[in-house]
Amino acid sequence: MSIGSSDVCSYGPGGRGARIGYSIVDSLLGRLLVAGTRHGLCFAALGDSDRAIISELRGDYPKASIQRDDALAGKWAQVIAKNLGGGSTIQNLPLDILGTPFQRSVWDQLRAIPRGETRSYTEIARRIGRPRAIRAVGTANGANPVAIVIPCHRALRASGHLGGYRWGLDRKRQLLELEAAHH
């Protein structure tokens, strides 16, 4: 499932016009918050406290109407949590995310990286036809609103070092180890 530049997001910048429901479940990497609209997933986050990840959701979508909605987002949260343990696939989960055409091209490349493998930011830049846009690839990677579903943790520096990760390098390392063990 491509998230190419032709896809339309159902809301505006900052979540303007969106009604977002979220669910929080336990996962192998801590608490997992998954949120979405009736069109698909728009946010996923890992954390140690519900309060912190709810605050992160509200910070990313300050103009949206946000409420807990386990009926909407709960099944997605369970699928993603199960995926962390090597279970179900998440490639076909519906997405409702706002991104530039460049970001979407990077996110498509991230989704093309097989479970248990990694790619460098340099290689991703080459694959999208923008070999000099290595830093921009890193920025697009960091702007990914649905971590794990769009596996930004699979992108590394050219040196092989982990680079950054919104929820810490320990979680990134754990994600990569879990995937290597279950692919």
Q: Catalytic site residue 9?
A: no
Closest CA relative to residue 46, chosen from 73, 24, 64, 21: 24
The H or E element containing residue 22 is strand 19-27
144, 180 contact by CB (below 8 A): no
Asked whether the CA dihedral 55, 57, 63, 68 is positive or negative, the reply is negative
Measured between alpha carbons, how far is 76 from 117 in angstroms, rounded to an integer?
24
**Which amino acid is located at 129 in the chain?**
G
* Set 20, 32, 97, 152: catalytic member: 152
What DSSP character marks residue 44? Answer: E
5, 105 contact by CB (below 8 A): yes
- Active-site positions read 152
